[in-house]
Amino acid sequence: MNEVPLMPVRRLQNYAYCPRLCYLQWVEGIFEGNADTAEGELAHRAIDRPTRLPADFGLPEGTSIRSLTLSSTALGLIGVVDCLIPEGDGYVVVDCKKGSARRDAAGNLLPKEADALQVAAYAMLVREAGERVVGARIWYATDRRHVPVELHDAIYAQVLAVRDAALRDAQSGRCPPPLIDDPRCLFCSAYPVCLPNESAWWSGLISAPPKDLRPPRPEADEGVVVLVQEPRARVGFREGQIVVEVAQEPAAQHPIEQVSSIHLYGPVQISAQAMHACLERGIPVAWFAPSGRFLGISQGLPVGGVDARRGQYRLFEDPDFRLHMVRAIVRAKIHNQRVLLQRNGREVDKACRQLAEMRDACDDARDIETLRGLEGAAAAAYFASFAAMLRDQDFDFTKRERRPPRDPVNAVLSLGYAMLAKELTGICIAVGLDPLFGFFHSPRYGRPALALDMMEEFRPLLVDSVAISLFNRGELAAEDFIRSAQGTFLNDAARKTFWKAWFRRLDTPCTHPEFGYQMSYRRMLEVQVRQVWRLCRGEARRYFPFTTR
């Protein structure tokens, strides 16, 4: 059984609203902000400044108390009471909410059930602290009205019943099932993590994939990616800003709230203050060799994921599950390679027929080695026809060479695969999976095997597509590459050109093959990793890879 600390009263309210929301936020520690939570923080701004109390911690007689933290081991609860207002010989417990109250048939304002339970739990904590409670009410900011809450034995008993149910779920280690077609999900900040309707399909709770869903996240919530490659550059943090200096001269600065990630190429320095600020805010700092090879990532501790990691290690030892995962991954990769050839190639009918045969042969493969052989044969056929997708004949490409890349096309592909590995490694860490334990790629020191697994279905659609676009549009020329005995690499200017094309591709909308909604490729990467996260937690029956038409 998992050790469970005192239950925050806010999570009790979450459980009354949705048990799955409570589990994600309390047990897994996953919190996603949205416009509603931001408005809630704004509504709480005035009462979030706690009242100063005397040294003996006594409640000053006749004085309102704001933001009072109380806990009780007897009740198993801890919470922050928004406001205690003296009235007669006791106190009125007041809780502040961003939204509006319920209305009965006559139009009278009534408290929402989950909100009423929350304020009743606060009243129980105040009584446990030895103070008399003479009333309770909720301030709904939208209505600008106080709505009274009746305190009686029945509501206190309901608080304890909800607490016990939440504790049982938390100790079980299994996340409650999602709500299905429930309007509450539309306003929930955890929607992009919970994915209620998608999860219902992945877990088998519904018989067909739902359609007409909204994408898991808005498309315009990306921050700034700070890319630094000057050898004399230094990244620092001052007055809330990520500051980039070159030769001690300011080169760029960004408010840290707007920064989504930092990429450092070669001998770029970063201060301890900047690293601390990034770790505290969950901003990944990715490190690359001067050639563009991905070296690693610095990121704060994942907010949750213990259950998922334990499941990941169990599934790694399950040969049937690994076979299923590898079959899905290899089949999707070959399918997407064939689609890219059909879209961009000339005289590639034979290669497309071969790829279709190898794709379909994956369904009959009974071991991972057979699938590895199909993947290798498909890659050989695909890259043998890769030049047919290139319009600029100045760039000769005959085969895939990566250690080191010997020509400009291979150089761009290697840089792109490094960038994709970085993206997926960061997502795996962020959701709480171990990037080193994959199902197709064997674990090896220093290799993010799970990220490499997740890359396979996206390699043709992201990296290969970007490379073809850069050469066919004439955005890269022969002078953009450095050729040496150690290989061929992009120069600084060419890397900037690549990054523009890369981020442009990540932000390109694509259609989910099962649910039909559109989202950016960047978001699709996260949705696919979240699906594996659910598999590892026992919330999905199989893996559905991303494919395009």
Q: Check: CATH 1.20.120.920 for 306-536?
A: yes
Residue pair 530/178 in contact (Cβ under 8 Å)? The answer is: no
- pLDDT on residue 33: 47
Report residue 406: phi and psi, to 5°: -105, -5
CA-based diameter of the chain, in Å? 89
pLDDT over 50 (residue 38): no
For the segment 48-53, the average pLDDT, to the nearest whole number, is: 51
Q: How far apart are the first and last CA of the chain?
A: 46
Which pTM does this prediction carry? 0.78
Q: What is the 3-state secondary structure (H, E, C) of 118-171?
A: HHHHHHHHHHHCCCCEEEEEEEECCCCEEEECCCCHHHHHHHHHHHHHHHHHHH
For the segment 268-277, the average pLDDT, to the nearest whole number, is: 92
Helix, strand, coil percentages for the chain (3-state, nearest 5): 45, 20, 35
User: Tens digit of pLDDT for each residue in 415-455?
Assistant: 999 999 988 998 888 888 989 999 999 887 778 999 999 99
Calculate the average pLDDT of the chain: 85
Residue 123 falls in which region: left (phi positive, over 0), alpha (psi -120 to 50) or beta: alpha
- pLDDT on residue 49: 55
Residues written for the chain: 549
Regarding predicted confidence, which is higher, 30 or 414? 414
Please report which confidence band the pLDDT of residue 220 belongs to, taking 50, 70 and 90 as the band edges.
very low
User: Tens digit of pLDDT for each residue in 81-127?
Assistant: 998 888 888 899 999 888 888 898 888 899 999 999 999 999 999 99
- pLDDT on residue 223: 72
CATH number of 226-298: 3.100.10.20
Which sign, positive or negative, has the C-alpha torsion 247, 252, 257, 258? negative
Share above pLDDT 90 across residues of the chain, in percent, rounded to a whole number:
40
Six-digit token pair at 355?
């790829």
pLDDT over 70 (residue 200): yes
For the segment 458-481, the average pLDDT, to the nearest whole number, is: 91
pLDDT over 50 (residue 485): yes
Look at 52-56, 89-93, 126-130, 377-381 and tell me which has the smallest mean pLDDT: 52-56
Between CA 338 and CA 222 the distance in angstroms is 31
CATH number of 7-178: 3.90.320.10
Pick from 430, 428, 420, 500: nearest CA to 464 = 420
CA dihedral 62, 68, 72, 75 (to 10 degrees): 90
For the segment 230-256, the average pLDDT, to the nearest whole number, is: 87
Cα angle 146, 152, 153 (rounded to 5 degrees) comes to: 150
Between CA 197 and CA 54 the distance in angstroms is 51
- In terms of DSSP H, where are the helices of 45-105? none
pLDDT over 80 (residue 512): yes
Chain-centroid distance of CA 186 in Å reads: 18
- Considering 192-206, 275-289, 325-339, the range whose residues carry the highest mean pLDDT is 325-339
Report residue 378: phi and psi, to 5°: -65, -40
Which sign, positive or negative, has the C-alpha torsion 174, 176, 181, 186? negative
pLDDT over 90 (residue 247): no
Residue pair 176/17 in contact (Cβ under 8 Å)? The answer is: no
Domain boundaries, the chain: 7-178, 226-298, 306-536
pLDDT over 60 (residue 405): yes
Residue pair 278/285 in contact (Cβ under 8 Å)? The answer is: yes
Q: Where do we find the tokens 């659609």?
A: 461
- CA distances (Å), 414 to each of 118, 389, 410, 419, in order? 54, 18, 6, 9
- pLDDT on residue 330: 96
Pick from 232, 242, 265, 246: nearest CA to 498 = 265
- pLDDT on residue 346: 83
